[in-house]
Structure formats: C-alpha cells, structure tokens
Structure 1
C-alpha cells in the first residue's frame, strides 16, 4: 500500500483499499482459441490460433506440431479429457504419447500456468477493436512470451515432472 491508501491489485491496477479496481468490459463475443504445447525442460513451444475449438482445430494443431518438432523426438503431451481431445477422429502424430489428466485436475498441466500468465499479462482487461485486433494481440503475446525459452521453462516448470526424470 502506498501513502495515499491505495494498493496494487494482482492485475497491476491501483485501487483504494476495500474497493475493486475498475476494468474494461467488452460485451461482444467473438472467440479466438489458442492451442499450444510447451516443454518445461527445453522451453520449446508450438501454438495455433483458431476461431473455434473442435477436433478439426486439434488436428490442424497436430499438423503444425509435426512441422515444428523433430520426428525423432518422442513427446509426452499432458491433456485434459475434453471431447475434442478424446475423439477417435484426432490424428495424434506417431512420436506423441498422450497422458490424459484425471477429471477436474488442470493444475497438473504445465500449459495451464502459461495460459494464466498470458491472460494476466497480455490478454485480460483489454478492449479489442474487432476480431483482427484480438488475433494480432494474441499473436504478439505468443511471440513475446512463448518464443522466450527461458521464460517458458520458468512459467511451465513442474516439480512433479522434473522428479519423474531423476
């Protein structure tokens, strides 16, 4: 708290103690989904922006994933059990093993901390001038954060995964 009785909230805004900081609220509903994978060991990421989230977009993500990841490297990918993840129509690359999470346990997935970081630092409490602006903002945030391997290693670090490799 500073001398004027204001404190800084978690989102980086100042507000008088006992009040909530104001934030922009946009009531238009156009969605943009970010599909991504991040390796906590190497910091390597692969991502895809999509206008919808379904089996087709997951397959498009895997096609991009295959372009970015060496086929000689075997990847273990932690996933929740959403319908578009478990569909028999999902074409998982041969060098990928899916590790399904137990229901209601997103905290076990290191990518969830990346989504939280991106929302807190780049995506939330902003007003977008339309879908293209939203897409550019998502793309810029991805490039700023997800192409920084040291940052990804820090954000997505999971002790339980590190211990599995000891």
Structure 2
C-alpha cells in the first residue's frame, strides 16, 4: 500500500490518498485530486521527493496538459529534512502512535484517517509543524 500526501504550507491543509501500488498511474490520480481540491487557485507548486514514478515519462502528457496550473519541483536526493510533508508524517505518527497501545493495524489506520479528516481544512497546528526554525 502507498500513501500519497501533500500539505499546503500557507493554510495547513493536508490532502492524502492511499493506493494499492505506488506507480505513475496512482500518482496521476493523486495529482487529479490535488487539482480538484485547488481548482480555484491560479498555480499549484508541488515539492516532491525523487521517487521513480514522480519522474515517469508516461506522466509527461498529463503534466504538459496541466502545466499552466501545476508545477512540480524536485528536492535534492536524500533531503527529507527539506520536505514539509515529511514533518507532517512525523508529527502525525508521534501524535497517534508514540506511547500508545493499539491492538491492530486496523485501529492504527482508523486513527490516521481521523487525523487526516481533522487536518483537511485550514489548520495553524500544521503550519507551525511545517515552519523551519534554523
């Protein structure tokens, strides 16, 4: 199972989607979800890691079709510390699993989706998590 996620660092909104496989088709479906969510925005800039399907040649026609609306920027290799969504994953995992017993994976998944539903609207808590204080 693959979990796709994005964070709007201005509003704190988190978008997430699961897929049976992590490939260019499932990533394309996720991008469609992002485009739908932010259809009122002039431009969407997504900062991505370098997982192979983010660079798939078969994705190129879709990206060209949406190049006025969607821009993909890639992080340097091996730099998760620069990715705001990595901070969100860490924060959610900490809030849900640290020092807590859950008797099944199903319960854990349910807790994550409850938290996603809480963070799918503007949220100062996530804005704070994503801010970098060097």
- Bigger share in helix: 2
**Can you list the C-alpha shifts for 1:16-67, whole angstroms capped at 9, x where unaligned?**
xxxxxxxxxxxxxxxx432111121222332212233222221111111121
Alignment of 1:1-166 (within 5 A): 32-90=1-59, 91-92=62-63, 93-94=66-67, 95-123=69-97, 126-127=101-102, 129=104, 132-158=106-132
CA distance in 2, matches of 1:57, 1:126: 32
SS of 2:57's equivalent in the other structure is coil
Comparing 46-55 and 121-130, the one that deviates more: 121-130
**Can you list the C-alpha shifts for 1:87-139, whole angstroms capped at 9, x where unaligned?**
12233443121111111111111111001001111146654535x54542321
Q: How much does 1:70 deviate?
A: 2.3
Structure 1 segments unaligned to the other structure (5+ residues): 1-31, 161-166
**Which structure has the larger Rg?**
1
- State the TM-score, normalizing by the size of structure 2: 0.78
Aligned residues: 128
- State the TM-score, normalizing by the size of structure 1: 0.65
Structure 2 segments unaligned to the other structure (5+ residues): none
Q: Higher relative contact order at CA 8 Å, sep ≥6: structure 1 or structure 2?
A: 2
- For the aligned residues, what is the CA RMSD? 2.5
Q: Could you say if the C-alpha distance between residues 84 and 126 of structure 1 is closer, same or farther in structure 2, counting changes exceeding 3 Å?
A: farther
